[in-house]
Structure 1
Amino acid sequence: MSTANKSSAVSNWTADKLPSLEGKTYIITGGNSGIGFEAARMLANAGGDVVIACRNTEKGSVAQHALQIQAKGKIDLVQMDLSDLSSVRHAAEIIASRYTKIDALINNAGIMQTPELKSVDGYELQFATNHLGHFLWSGLLKPNVEAANGRFVVVASLVHKMGKINFNDLMMRENYASMKAYSQSKLATLMFGLELQRRLSDAGSSSFVAMGHPGYSATNLQSTGPTGWMSVAYRWMNSMFAQSAERGALPTVLAAAGLEVEPNGYYGPTKRMETVGSVGRAQIASHALNPEVARRLWSESEWLTDFKWAF
């Protein structure tokens, strides 16, 4: 294993270490529930203006109102289905027109261990939602992030360590397994962040990538994706081993707005094999650091989304 930020001194980080975020704008996918909601709450309570991008506007409106009650910043809402590339493009147009500067673009939303399903574009649903949607979203809003010298925040997962990018069958049409598809999608998510940082650095950009993972936190991910015995198992494991969504959101908030963060930093819980506990540096599996695989994944992603990033 390796760390992406060996010189970082971040340890036992909590949200009370945030500076005032007044006047700053944070866009978060999936900010209507779970870790995304808790991250949005912390950022807004510190004074930031937060935009929730989510698929279900009814649930999004409920979250928006709940957040606005206590928020110091403003809470906005935009509809977007990450698994639908046309929806991503439409939402990005709306965001770009409303917010010329984005201080952090937080790629948080995701799905986990679904049955074999295809997106409207014909792609494996987990890969489409967790990776391709965010890849396109980030590329479309890159000018707005760079206008603020802002951050691209990647929310990864411990399961990236189990993942493998199968270029011969990215969509797993030949041999689908829900966990294998999920771990591939989260490895792709993390490798995207690492490769984006390389390209931003090569281009001399003042924007940077910061990454985090929530460890094992109790959210609706475990109840809306897995089916059958896995759904039952997750209910038991959540009650026995998981930490709260609030604690799970801390690495995301740190990556988005913490003063301690360094470019290419990766943060998460530090106890029980990084599943729970105080927040500090996190480990990246060595195979996720392979630049050749990352470059190929980037090219494949540009082709699949029909979008060429500009640097």
Structure 2
Amino acid sequence: MSTANKSSAVSDWTADQLPSLEGKTYIITGGNSGIGFEAARMLAGAGGDVVIACRNAEKGSAAQHALQAQAKGKVDLVQLDLSDLASVRSAAEIVATRYTKIDGLINNAGIMQTPELKSVDGYELQFATNHLGHFLWSGLLKPNVEAAQGRFVIVASLVHKMGKINFNDLMMRETYAPMKAYSQSKLANVMFGLELQRRLSDAGSASFVTMGHPGWSATNLQSTGPTGLMSKTYKWMNKLFAQSAERGALPTVLAAAGLEAEPNGYYGPTKRMESVGPVGVARIASHALNPEVARRLWDESEWLTDFKWAFY
């Protein structure tokens, strides 16, 4: 394994260390529940204007009102279905028009260990939602992030260490397994973030990429994706081993707005094999650092989303 940023001195970071975020704008996918909701709450509590982008408009509206009741900044809502590339394009157009400058584009939403399902575009659902949707979303909103010299924030997972990018069967049509598909999609998140940072650096951009993972945190992720025995297993395991969604959101908040966060920084819990505990520098699997695989994944992602990123 390799640390993402060995020079970082981040240790036991908390949201109390946030500066005033007044006048700054943060867009967070999946901000209506779990890690996303808690991260949005902390950012808005520090004065930032927050936009939650989520699939279910009713749940999104309820979350928006709950957040606004305790926020110092404004809370907006945009409907977005990351598994539907047409929805991604439509939502990105709305956001780009409303918010010319984005200080933090937080790619948080995701699904986990679903049965074998396809997106409306015909792609494996976990890969489509967790990776391809965010790949396109980030590319479309890149000019707005760069206008603010802002951050692209990738919410990854411990299971990226188990992942493998199977270019011969990216959509797992030959041999599907829920965890295998999930770990591939989360490895793709990490490799996308690292490759994006390489390209931003080569282009001389002032924007940069930061990443974080929530460790093992109790959220809806474990109950809305897995089915059968796995779903039941997660319920009792969460009670024994998981930390709260609030604790799990801290790495995301640090990556999005902490003064301590650095380009290519990767943050997460530091106890019990990085599953819980104080927030500090996390570790990236060595195979995620392969630039050749990352470049190929990038090219495949551009082809699958029919979108070409622009770097100047």
Q: Once the 2 structures are TM-superposed, how far is the Cα of residue 4 of structure 1 from its aligned partner?
A: 1.4
User: Aligned ranges for residues 1-311 of structure 1 at < 5 Å?
Assistant: 1-311=1-311
Q: Once the 2 structures are TM-superposed, how far is the Cα of residue 204 of structure 1 from its aligned partner?
A: 0.3
Q: Once the 2 structures are TM-superposed, how far is the Cα of residue 184 of structure 1 from its aligned partner?
A: 0.2
Structure 1, unaligned stretches of length 5 or more? none
Q: Deviations over 1:48-93 (max 9, x none)?
A: 0000000001000000000000100000000000000000000000
What value does the CA root-mean-square deviation take over the aligned residues?
A: 0.2
User: Counterpart of 1:70 in 2: which secondary structure?
Assistant: coil
The amino acid across from 1:219 in the alignment is: T
Q: Deviations over 1:227-285 (max 9, x none)?
A: 00000100011000000000000000000000001100000000000000000000000
Give, in whole Å, the separation in 2 of the partners of 1:149 and 1:237.
Answer: 41
Give, in whole Å, the separation in 1 of the partners of 2:170 and 2:152.
Answer: 24
Give, in whole Å, the separation in 2 of the partners of 1:242 and 1:181.
Answer: 22
**Alignment size in residue pairs:** 311
The amino acid across from 1:14 in the alignment is: T
Give, in whole Å, the separation in 1 of the partners of 2:15 and 2:145.
Answer: 23
Structure 2, unaligned stretches of length 5 or more? none
Give, in whole Å, the separation in 1 of the partners of 2:261 and 2:56.
Answer: 32
The amino acid across from 2:135 in the alignment is: F
Q: Deviations over 1:133-171 (max 9, x none)?
A: 000000000000000000000000000000000000000
The amino acid across from 1:286 in the alignment is: S
* TM-score, normalised relative to structure 1: 1.00
Please list every run of at least 4 consecutive aligned residues from structure 1 whose deviation after the TM superposition is greater than 6 angstroms: none
User: Counterpart of 2:42 in 1: which secondary structure?
Assistant: helix
